[in-house]
Structure 1
Amino acid sequence: METDKGSRPTVVLVPEPSPSPNDPLNWPKWRKYRILAVLCLASFSGAIAPLSGQLNLVQQAQIYGKTKVQESYANSAALAGMAFGPFFVAPLAHRLGRSSVIFWCMVCTLVCQIWAAVMTHSDEYIAFVMSRLFAGFFGAVPTVIGPRMITDLLFLHQRGRAFTALHMSFLMGTIAGPTFSAFISAGTFFPVEFWWSVGLLGATAILILLCLEETAFDRIDPERNRLPPANWLANRRATFLFGQQLLPPSPWSTTARIAVAPLLIGLCPVTLIMGTFTLISFGFYVGMNALVPVWLQRSPAEGGYGFTLRQNAAFTFCHWIGILLVQLGGHHYNDRLPLLLARRRSHGVWKPEYRLHVLWIPSLILNPIGLGLFGATLQYHLHYMVLALAVFLVTIGSLASVPVTVNYVVECFTRYPAEAGIVVGAYRIVYGLTISFYIDPWVAAVGVGWVYGMMAFFAVVSFLCVGLLMWKGDVIRGWQIASVASSEEGVQLAGEGEGSECGTAVHEGKMDAC
């Protein structure tokens, strides 16, 4: 361990890179960040597609002869695809390559958008819902393969900001899709809300084809790695035409083990505990976000606000502002605070649980307050700006937890980062996709104020799961199934000294900015 001039604290590079220049950890920063930027764009575009029709309920309901709540089932189908599609698609990345699977999933998502746009007859409601299911099925794949590529490319002390960028891009897409589509389709026939995203998905697929690279690399047995072709066209063919030209060879038994890993990870106590928190904390946000258009577009006589489609689209900017604040806060604190705690509490020895301390303010304070305010606003029909404030608070409180929880679970299962991300994603969405089926009976039974007041109370109780992991996470991580658990706990990550909270990374005498 050493410090640089001026006694600034240092951060050891974890994991340790191999000597090979083909090791993604040794790639120059511009190359890593180019890949991360394309991943973020793919996550953004993939999230836009499934929820493009979220706000334009009136026109669709009239065409298909359904109620607004029944029309919102298409959004539930999209969420179902986003939750469970990666379980089936992501294992293929181990066989066919990460970049290849992302590219072809973008192409399939584009096809699903065209499919939805041509479902304009009264007897095509089921086909329309299925198009949303498969758009979510393929659109969520970049976000669940992204954690694997981030761990391939970046060191432990850099991942917090990268996970924040990746997941905020995805979550921004879930808001941008309904917002842009509503503005575009207001006053015209609804299929245009899907056609515009076809161009975005096509441009994203082209950028993936030009810029994304295969990041798989075996550091344990470097002889198994295959050299990428030097010729650019040959490299692109090897990367994106299905095959294993750039992947270390592996038997089908390994692929089968990868396919089963999400189920095993999902049954581990540490995942169940964190998943319970995620299910409640983020699930209420998904449920609230899915139903806000219903409340806003209902007539005042029915307890709503009588918003037009364009007014509803403008209302979503409270989500945008919240997401931008989460991105800003995550960029500054999702790595710095855990590193600071590692230095202060254990003299630089790393524990994954240090990442969870970022959640105190957003998850324990802002999220419950926002849910309670949301219920009170609907109960007493307060001004819609109070409703916007409530949505803003819930957005910050819930979305701030997403990159932190994914990063934590990934660092509990470092050999299966994509599979860990799949499990957390399923927990995150599964509650929200069902809420539209029973929210009306729930409101009828106890009143809208109590519905969201109960959600606020449950959100506070769910934080006990985070507190339990902060307290005994190292012990709970030891309770595992089939030895899938592995972490970087115990590595000497941070050095001693005063100065920058971020510090610098040291490897073989070379300084690398944190």
Structure 2
Amino acid sequence: MGEKDDVELPALSSSPLASEGLDHDHDQLVLIPRPSNLTQDPLCQLQNWTLKRKYAITAVLCLASFAGAVAPLSGQLNLADQEKLYHKTKTEESYPNSAALAGIAAGPFFFAPISHLLGRSSVIFWCLVCTLVCQVWGAVMTHADDYIPFIISRLFAGFFGAVPTVLGPRILTDLFFLHQRGRAFTFLHMSFLFGTIAGPTFSGFISANAFFPVEFWWTVGLLGFTIICCLLVLEETGFDREDTSKNPEIPERFLANRLATFFFGTRVIQPTTWEETAKISLAPFLVGLCPVTIIMGIFTLISFGFYVGVNALTPVWLQRPVSAGGYGFTLKQNAAFTFCHWLGIIVVQFYSHGLNDRLPLALARRWNNGVWKPEYRLHVLWLPSLVLNPIGLGIFGAALKYHLHYLVLALGVFLVTVGSLASVPVTVNYVVECFTRFPAEAGIVVGAYRIVFGLTISFYINPWVEAVGVGWVYGMMGFFAVFSFLFVMLLMWKGHAIRRVQFASLASSEEGERLVR
């Protein structure tokens, strides 16, 4: 854009700190990162990039994350029909869910580098199209010898479906300032996690009195609607503030802009060669080798991994006959039981929305005279990760061991849901702010840690139960969850020093920026 696009920008936001949970009316939040004076810049708050426009993009991004999570896990509950059709046990019928989780962990490693070449919005759009195809594929696997192809369809549904959530942090980092990101990340990741819960719930009710493929057909409509919304609303948000001449000219007319964004994505992003893309593909692995990522990853692996294990195996425990230690639930009863997850994620949404930005900002002001440290974000985790998650795992194990009322089991699931899900936006946001030039790559690594333990648990849970008993399996998980929080405490204490031990090419954070004046 030319000189006519230059606008005068304020150095400070107009919002007093009181609006962010602080009580000093004369303090103001500094805009970090510093926006440029060009209307192409998504952080330019005047003219083109209004809050309404940013909220619309964020809403569609959240919808895409939700739909992408619903699809691969939509067949999680209807085990009875699959058991009869494929002649497999209920535990073997949980393997497609493990395949879906494996796809969710692996897909982003492939598509994050491709997004540098083809554009983020374009990759999100086409991955949702491919997810829709995978849902149709899963729905037509209705013959006795289709078990393996059915598992593969779940693998690829997860492979494509996770992409909006992983590319989302990069878009949100482009759109929002430091003091706004906590809430933005909360909405994005809660949308994805809600999809993993709502998908099985809706599918359970829909397929309760029908043959199981119907649980995939309804997601086709959801994905189709989401694809249309992406086509209408999503935009490319990348902008180079250091060398503005690198930014491409983006068509302003609607049709030309849509064609350039989704069908000729290279026209709206900075030129990138295949060689550069190959180098970028190494970034997630380099980020994953940094000590700060490993330490946070261990916490995530243990703390959230047990939730994945509980969530994936709860249908098995509920639908087992009472004589075999289960609760003998029907599919519809199992679907109704999942509302304890819904209640948990609602509580997490309110908790995270209220604290994920306010508490770190308050700590920065109180402890460091308004100077920012990424570790301030971690203090949100004390209650959910150290208290609620271990207690929930203990209650869940006790309910199974002593065959307590299913409402006790639901209480355990509720507490584990709150304890585990509340950690997701915080851990992703923290690692992203340790590698601000590689937000998607940082999100990929944290996501892989979050899933890798949970996706394998169905393969060894039975030997573990046989060795120590079901009560001690989940009791041990509770103790491991407490142990994992020591890694968070280590980062709270020595995070600054630990973050300095990393590859020089990755080093970038916003530590030391003064947030208030």
Where on the TM-score scale, by shorter chain, does this alignment land: which range?
A: over 0.9
* 1:97 equivalent among 119, 130, 142: 119
For the residues of structure 2 that align with 1:65 and 1:24, how far apart are their CA atoms?
Answer: 54
Q: State the secondary structure of the residue aligned to 2:282.
A: helix
- Does structure 1 residue 51 correspond to structure 2 residue 73? yes
Aligned to 1:215: 237
For the residues of structure 1 that align with 2:438 and 2:275, how far apart are their CA atoms?
Answer: 15
* 2:317 equivalent among 295, 320, 325: 295
Aligned to 1:470: 492
- Does structure 1 residue 8 correspond to structure 2 residue 26? yes
For the residues of structure 2 that align with 1:265 and 1:485, how far apart are their CA atoms?
Answer: 10
- Does structure 1 residue 198 correspond to structure 2 residue 220? yes
Q: State the secondary structure of the residue aligned to 1:24.
A: coil
Aligned to 1:499: none
- Does structure 1 residue 282 correspond to structure 2 residue 300? no
Aligned to 1:455: 477
Change (3 A) 1:160 1:4: closer
Aligned to 1:510: none
**Alignment deviations for residues 211-270 of structure 1 (CA, whole Å, 9 cap, x no partner):** 000101111100111121121100000000144111122333332222100000001000
Question: In the alignment, residue 33 of structure 2 is paired with which amino acid?
Answer: P
- Are the counterparts in 2 of residues 366 and 394 from structure 1 also a CA contact under 8 Å? yes
- Are the counterparts in 1 of residues 115 and 123 from structure 2 also a CA contact under 8 Å? yes
Question: In the alignment, residue 234 of structure 2 is paired with which amino acid?
Answer: L
* 1:359 equivalent among 356, 360, 381: 381
Superposed displacement of residue 4, structure 1: 7.7
For the residues of structure 1 that align with 2:92 and 2:27, how far apart are their CA atoms?
Answer: 57
Pairing 1:344-493 to 2, within 5 Å after superposition: 344-493=366-515
Pairing 1:139-218 to 2, within 5 Å after superposition: 139-218=161-240
Superposed displacement of residue 369, structure 1: 0.2
Give TM-score scaled by structure 2 length. Answer: 0.94
Which of 1 and 2 has higher RCO (CA within 8 Å, sep 6+)?
Answer: 1
For the residues of structure 1 that align with 2:394 and 2:60, how far apart are their CA atoms?
Answer: 38
Question: In the alignment, residue 464 of structure 1 is paired with which amino acid?
Answer: L
Q: State the secondary structure of the residue aligned to 2:43.
A: helix
For the residues of structure 1 that align with 2:239 and 2:503, how far apart are their CA atoms?
Answer: 26
**Alignment deviations for residues 18-52 of structure 1 (CA, whole Å, 9 cap, x no partner):** 11101011111001110000000000000000000
Q: State the secondary structure of the residue aligned to 2:281.
A: helix
Show structure 1 runs of 4+ deviating over 4 A. 1-6
Question: In the alignment, residue 392 of structure 1 is paired with which amino acid?
Answer: F
Superposed displacement of residue 61, structure 1: 1.0
Q: State the secondary structure of the residue aligned to 1:263.
A: helix
For the residues of structure 2 that align with 1:296 and 1:494, how far apart are their CA atoms?
Answer: 52
* 1:340 equivalent among 339, 355, 362: 362
- Are the counterparts in 2 of residues 161 and 330 from structure 1 also a CA contact under 8 Å? yes
Change (3 A) 1:288 1:31: same
* 1:265 equivalent among 283, 287, 296: 287
Q: Percent identity?
A: 72
For the residues of structure 1 that align with 2:515 and 2:271, how far apart are their CA atoms?
Answer: 32
Question: In the alignment, residue 19 of structure 1 is paired with which amino acid?
Answer: N
Superposed displacement of residue 477, structure 1: 0.2
- Are the counterparts in 2 of residues 213 and 239 from structure 1 also a CA contact under 8 Å? yes
For the residues of structure 2 that align with 1:389 and 1:39, how far apart are their CA atoms?
Answer: 32
For the residues of structure 2 that align with 1:191 and 1:408, how far apart are their CA atoms?
Answer: 40
For the residues of structure 1 that align with 2:142 and 2:32, how far apart are their CA atoms?
Answer: 53
Superposed displacement of residue 413, structure 1: 0.4
**Alignment deviations for residues 470-492 of structure 1 (CA, whole Å, 9 cap, x no partner):** 00000000011353131100001
- Are the counterparts in 2 of residues 60 and 71 from structure 1 also a CA contact under 8 Å? yes
Give TM-score scaled by structure 1 length. Answer: 0.95
Which moves more between the two structures, 88-97 or 311-320? 88-97
**Alignment deviations for residues 484-507 of structure 1 (CA, whole Å, 9 cap, x no partner):** 131100001123xxxxxxxxxxxx
- Does structure 1 residue 137 correspond to structure 2 residue 159? yes
- Are the counterparts in 2 of residues 342 and 494 from structure 1 also a CA contact under 8 Å? no
- Are the counterparts in 1 of residues 15 and 29 from structure 2 also a CA contact under 8 Å? no
- Does structure 1 residue 128 correspond to structure 2 residue 146? no
CA RMSD across the alignment: 1.2
Q: State the secondary structure of the residue aligned to 2:261.
A: helix
How many residues are paired up?
495
Aligned to 2:347: 325
Question: In the alignment, residue 13 of structure 1 is paired with which amino acid?
Answer: L
Question: In the alignment, residue 215 of structure 1 is paired with which amino acid?
Answer: T
- Are the counterparts in 2 of residues 264 and 482 from structure 1 also a CA contact under 8 Å? no
Question: In the alignment, residue 341 of structure 1 is paired with which amino acid?
Answer: L
- Are the counterparts in 1 of residues 373 and 512 from structure 2 also a CA contact under 8 Å? yes
**Alignment deviations for residues 276-334 of structure 1 (CA, whole Å, 9 cap, x no partner):** 00000000000000000000000111111000000000000000010011011111110
**Alignment deviations for residues 327-375 of structure 1 (CA, whole Å, 9 cap, x no partner):** 1111111000000000000000000000000000000000000001100
Gaps of 5+ in 1: 496-514
For the residues of structure 2 that align with 1:237 and 1:299, how far apart are their CA atoms?
Answer: 55
Q: State the secondary structure of the residue aligned to 1:15.
A: coil
**Alignment deviations for residues 159-196 of structure 1 (CA, whole Å, 9 cap, x no partner):** 00000000000000000110000000001111000000
Q: State the secondary structure of the residue aligned to 2:29.
A: strand
Question: In the alignment, residue 467 of structure 2 is paired with which amino acid?
Answer: A
- Are the counterparts in 2 of residues 349 and 494 from structure 1 also a CA contact under 8 Å? yes
* 2:35 equivalent among 11, 17, 24: 17
Q: State the secondary structure of the residue aligned to 1:11.
A: strand
Question: In the alignment, residue 61 of structure 1 is paired with which amino acid?
Answer: E
- Are the counterparts in 2 of residues 85 and 136 from structure 1 also a CA contact under 8 Å? yes
- Are the counterparts in 2 of residues 283 and 429 from structure 1 also a CA contact under 8 Å? yes
**Alignment deviations for residues 118-157 of structure 1 (CA, whole Å, 9 cap, x no partner):** 0000000000000000000000000000000000110000
For the residues of structure 2 that align with 1:439 and 1:89, how far apart are their CA atoms?
Answer: 32
- Does structure 1 residue 28 correspond to structure 2 residue 50? yes
- Are the counterparts in 2 of residues 339 and 494 from structure 1 also a CA contact under 8 Å? no
**Alignment deviations for residues 424-457 of structure 1 (CA, whole Å, 9 cap, x no partner):** 0000000000000000000000000000000000
For the residues of structure 1 that align with 2:81 and 2:15, how far apart are their CA atoms?
Answer: 63
Which moves more between the two structures, 351-360 or 253-262? 253-262
For the residues of structure 1 that align with 2:453 and 2:264, how far apart are their CA atoms?
Answer: 35
- Are the counterparts in 2 of residues 53 and 181 from structure 1 also a CA contact under 8 Å? yes
For the residues of structure 2 that align with 1:128 and 1:195, how far apart are their CA atoms?
Answer: 14
For the residues of structure 2 that align with 1:383 and 1:485, how far apart are their CA atoms?
Answer: 52
Question: In the alignment, residue 166 of structure 1 is paired with which amino acid?
Answer: L
Aligned to 1:501: none
For the residues of structure 2 that align with 1:233 and 1:4, how far apart are their CA atoms?
Answer: 36
Q: State the secondary structure of the residue aligned to 1:306.
A: coil
